A = this chain, B = another copy of it.
Amino acid sequence: MNEKDIIRKYFTKQLNDQSVIEGIGDDAAIVKASSGHELVITTDMMVEGRHFTRYAPAFGVGYKLMASNLSDLAAMGASPRWATLNITLSTLNQSWLEEFSNGLLTCAKKHNVTLIGGDTTRGNQLNVAIQLIGEVPKGKAMLRSGAKADDRVFVSGAIGNAAAALDFLRNHDFSYNELTEKQFSALYMPPSRVELGMELREIANACIDISDGLLNELEIICDASKAGALLQLDCVPHSQNVNIMSAITGGEDYELLFTVPEDSVNHIDLLSAKYYCELSEIGRITNTMQVELYQGNQIMPHPKSSGYDHFNKIVDE
């Protein structure tokens, strides 16, 4: 089985997309972008031993890889269109490839993404990456930098479920078959709020997806917007299996954190009903340049770390 066979067997199942002029198979793919739109481009990768273990369910790894990239486009308000895939395989395990590609393409199909190309090679460590291209009407993308004083801060869904499922796995020696369906979904099938993002671009001043902890992402919005925020911890919907401090610093929620002007707040209830998605007001933007945490009327100390950084622990050579 050579590179071409791998691609043909596992990654060319879909492809019925009028915008794709040439898909997988030539030196490069050719696609037709929509007029009046800008392109929105993101990439995210997952490495065995860092983002998942050797025994992690391959369907979940594939699904999550696509979902985490989709989440970045959702946070910009873009509609996803085309993806390329890079895979470094350590062994040619066909059942792994079958499940991985099923997970990836299931998630892609759900959000109308077409896989148009990629590169496959060998290495010592399994490494998978997606590059995703979306479109947004000209000038309509949501940035992190648009938050304004007095904006209300909202979060979609509930947070901490992925962190709780990961805790469970750690305490059960990474026995994946002990995960409940809900835990499996929280860890491997995160929401990708694509349709919500596309509606929010008409209302929200700033938006980010929560990949590395809600508190960390709120700090990023404040930093980019030269603003501060009050975060009301009692209002943050979170998993009952983690405390609130772990919930706001745990990673991989892939929910949207966004700010809207006060006079658009009643729009949010409509969106919540339309997408069957809890949208909770959890605080407001201030002009203090600091993020302050409140429980009731009481100000709370910040946790030691507000999120996750892949490089904090690397010692410089």
Q: Is A2 in contact with chain B by the CB < 8 A criterion? A: yes
The CA of A309 and the CA of B122, in the complex, are separated in Å by 10
Q: Contact between A123 and B125 (Cβ–Cβ < 8 Å)?
A: yes
In the complex, what residues of B have CB within 8 A of residue A26's CB?
Answer: 76, 143-145, 224
In the complex, what residues of B have CB within 8 A of residue A32's CB?
Answer: 38-39, 138
Q: Contact between B3 and A120 (Cβ–Cβ < 8 Å)?
A: no
Give 19 CB contacts A-B under 8 Å.
A1-B314, A3-B309, A21-B38, A26-B76, A26-B143, A26-B224, A30-B38, A31-B41, A32-B38, A41-B116, A47-B88, A50-B121, A88-B125, A88-B127, A92-B314, A94-B317, A124-B124, A129-B129, A133-B133
Can you name 19 extra interface pairs (CB under 8 A) apart from A27-B73, A39-B39, A122-B310?
Answer: A2-B312, A6-B311, A26-B145, A26-B224, A27-B75, A27-B209, A28-B72, A30-B39, A33-B38, A41-B82, A41-B117, A41-B133, A50-B121, A51-B121, A86-B129, A93-B317, A94-B316, A123-B127, A125-B127
Q: Contact between A121 and B47 (Cβ–Cβ < 8 Å)?
A: yes
Encode A72-95 as 1/0 by CB contact (under 8 A) with B: 110110100010101011011110
The CA of A119 and the CA of B88, in the complex, are separated in Å by 16
A298 vs chain B, min Cβ distance (A): 31
Q: Is A158 in contact with chain B by the CB < 8 A criterion? A: no
Q: Contact between A144 and B91 (Cβ–Cβ < 8 Å)?
A: no
Partner of A317 from the list B76, B91, B133, B310 (CB cut-off 8 Å) is B91
Q: Contact between A310 and B121 (Cβ–Cβ < 8 Å)?
A: yes
User: Which residues 2-17 in A have Cβ within 8 Å of B in the complex?
Assistant: 2-3, 5-6
Partner of A119 from the list B44, B120, B133, B309 (CB cut-off 8 Å) is B44
Binding site for B on A (CB under 8 A): 1-3, 5-6, 21-22, 25-33, 35, 38-45, 47-51, 72-73, 75-76, 78, 82, 84, 86, 88-89, 91-94, 116-125, 127, 129, 131-134, 136, 138, 141, 143-145, 207-209, 224, 309-312, 314-317
Partner of A42 from the list B3, B28, B49, B133 (CB cut-off 8 Å) is B28
**With A29-B40, A40-B28, A41-B28 known to touch, is A122 a contact of B50 (CB < 8 Å)?**
yes
In the complex, what residues of B have CB within 8 A of residue A84's CB?
Answer: 41-43, 131
